Structure 1
Amino acid sequence: MAETQRKPVPRNDGGELDTATAFLTFARESVLKKTDGLTEEQLRRVLVDSGTTLLGLVHHLTLAERYWFGHHVAGGEDPGDIDMTVPAGRTAADVLAGYRAEIAASDAAVRAAGDPDRPVAIPVQGTHHTLRWVLAHMTSETARHAGHADILREQLDGVTGR
């Protein structure tokens, strides 16, 4: 039987923001857990026809965090193309550290916004969605990619879990 990385879902229920951020954190941790103990080569290995790699997923999610929380919520610069191509010369350690740093910046933007009803600083295609909407969007985006990461990790070494 394959080793498992399973952990329980959050039980936070102390309010809307507390619950929303707990589930986003859970999804982020699930993605990062898929990279634990793997080599640079394994993190970059292409296992599916689309060319998706574990490291590419993390790179993509880093840019998505910056786009949604840094740009739309906090009003910062637009990071541009949010693809899965890891720039040449970036090590796996750099990409993973970048994701962790972007998560911290995103969490700070959420804390600064404070209220789930608060509209974003920069509209999304002309609409001032709320922080609530961005949290829901990023939770679903991150969870979707955590599922992709589960499959890639299982293909690499048989490890499963969330």
Structure 2
Amino acid sequence: MPETQRRPVPRNDGGELDTATAFLTFARECVLKKMDGLTEQQLRQVLVGSGTTLLGLVHHLTIAERVWFGHHVAGGEDPGDVGMTVPGGRTAEDVLAGYRAAIEDSDAAIRAAGGPDAPVAVAVDGKFHTLRWVLAHMTSETARHAGHADILREQIDGVTGR
């Protein structure tokens, strides 16, 4: 089956932070691309035994962005539960807009951190990891869920690709 949503891998190589943020951005865009053209019902459709939905993945990644970049890197409030259950009353449009806003806030926190060696503002399990570590963690987390989204999307309407 041809890949109908294939995106080119970033070629950024202008330094550690440039490369790291390019690949995080790429993974985020891959997640958002999976949502394109689907209805509210399709975004909430349960297709696997775990109950994971496309919209639930986006909700989870939104909270993860806010935990890792907003809380740990920037020192803001801890947003709490990173589960995949979309709170009642939230539309797909609300959830997607929330993810985009979280990405903007995260990117601002990354720029303000001062570089990959900068320690986080709030320790992670008692350790002050670096921005580098948070970027690697969030890139792998986002890419993993982009893969889940790719499989769910293919089950919904046959659309494939990263």
Q: Structure 1 length normalisation: TM-score?
A: 0.99
Equivalent AA in structure 2 for residue 94 of structure 1: D
- In structure 2, what is the equivalent of residue 108 of structure 1? 108
- In structure 1, what is the equivalent of residue 149 of structure 2? 149
| 1:161 and 2:151 correspond | no
CA distance in 1 between partners of 2:2 and 2:59 (Å): 27
Per-residue deviation, residues 71-109 of structure 1 (Å, max 9, x unmatched): 000000001110000000000000000000000000000
Q: CA RMSD in A?
A: 0.8
Per-residue deviation, residues 132-161 of structure 1 (Å, max 9, x unmatched): 000000000000000000000000000000
Structure 1 unmatched ranges of 5 or more = none
Secondary structure in 1 matching 2:24: helix
| 1:47 and 2:47 correspond | yes
Structure 2 unmatched ranges of 5 or more = none
CA distance in 2 between partners of 1:109 and 1:61 (Å): 16
Cα deviation for residue 7 of structure 1 reads: 1.0
CA distance in 2 between partners of 1:114 and 1:142 (Å): 23
Counterparts of residues 50-89 of structure 1 (less than 5 Å): 50-89=50-89
**Residues 2 and 158 in structure 1, CA contact (< 8 A), matched pair in contact too:** no
Equivalent AA in structure 1 for residue 4 of structure 2: T
Cα deviation for residue 114 of structure 1 reads: 2.5
Runs (4 or more) in structure 1 with deviation over 3 Å come to none
CA distance in 1 between partners of 2:3 and 2:26 (Å): 20
CA distance in 2 between partners of 1:2 and 1:55 (Å): 25
CA distance in 2 between partners of 1:74 and 1:90 (Å): 26
**Residues 3 and 158 in structure 1, CA contact (< 8 A), matched pair in contact too:** no
Q: Structure 2 length normalisation: TM-score?
A: 0.99
Cα deviation for residue 2 of structure 1 reads: 5.4
